[in-house]
Amino acid sequence: MNSLPLADADFHSVLLGLSSTELENWAVSKGQPAFRGRQVHDWLYQKAAKEINAITVLPKAFRSALSAQGVTIGRMSEVARHIASDQTMKLLLQAKDGQTIETVGIPTEDRLTVCVSSQVGCPMACRFCATGMGGYQRSLETHEIVDQVLSVRQAINRRPSHVVFMGMGEPLLNIDSVLSSIRCINADLGIGQRRITVSTVGVANTLPKLAELAIQRLGRAQFTLAVSLHAPNQKMRESLIPTAKTYPIENLLADCRRYFSITGRRVSFEYILLGGLNDQLEHAEELAERVSSFQSHVNLIAYNPIDDGEFVRPAKRRVESFMNILKRKGLAVTLRASRGLDQNAACGQLRSYYQSKA
């Protein structure tokens, strides 16, 4: 597998996110034997150390020198932990600059999915999203994304099996950090690319770039691309997603076809059902017609209500009818089970709650 370009090892002040080879080079640049880098790699990704001084296999003098030089592992601190009745766990983590992000662990009997954020806030401002309501601060660094997987692993005391970039932020506005974190999650944490999903609402002219960069930097592009449509036509999509005005749905779907031609990986389409708005039977017919030519999959999501939100959760019967129409049209369809509804389940809700109390 090809690795991401290696920066000058001597300038690495944050270690989380680096590969074994990068850590070996870093150790040598510090006057240490290469095996010290492999030891650090083990303590970062297997033992999930949070501080340099916790890596007791390193000589004390070396640890002291690293601390004096400002070298850190790059872990965040946990601000809050909410556990729903179904055991879904939402963590609020605080970065070094004081910004907070959410990550979620979703356990089932046979898997543990970690939902990670790629930005602090989100600039897309989707009307149905609590994250968008909170505004945008910055994109996350690689170590801040990887840390979310480690934090959930430690909090639940279970090895994650899947990772989805469906938390706060738009991943395609942070492609470099997203791809480097996928490399790390795959190679260093041992989670297969096919068990990683990148969800996007769509950013003009970036899907082909994502495909090409993934192949260039990761050696392959086997993660799942999930495109959030949320509407069957341009007019309705613009009313829900402000940025859709500059990225027509026809152009988005053309980019999806280009992504498939480059990667050979089918595209998933996500569709949030908003009660009484985009959940009508004619909307299901229109959606089926629009995506039926794709080798694709449609993932339906019943809306999770948010505080002061203008939308409502759709009726169960309406959801079932919508799904049945898509199936009759020959589409592969699943309904994502709602999790954590009693503990601020929607993206951005926990962060918004703590900001309001500050």
Q: Which residue in 102, 141, 144, 270 is the catalytic one?
A: 102
Distance CA 17, CA 6 (A): 12
274: left (phi over 0), alpha (psi -120 to 50) or beta: beta
Cα–Cα distances (Å) from 262 to 81, 152, 153, 212, 311, in that order, read: 41, 33, 33, 7, 37
Phi, psi for 162 (deg, rounded to 5): -140, 150
* Catalytic (active site) residue 126: no
Sheet with 100-107, strands from edge to edge, namely 77-83, 89-94, 100-107, 112-115, 162-165, 196-200, 224-228, 267-273, 296-302, 333-336
Q: Which of 115, 122, 184, 347 is catalytic?
A: 347
68: buried, middle or exposed (CB in 10 Å: 19+, 13-18, 0-12)? exposed
Query: Does 102 qualify as catalytic in the annotation?
Result: yes
| Active-site residue set | 102, 347
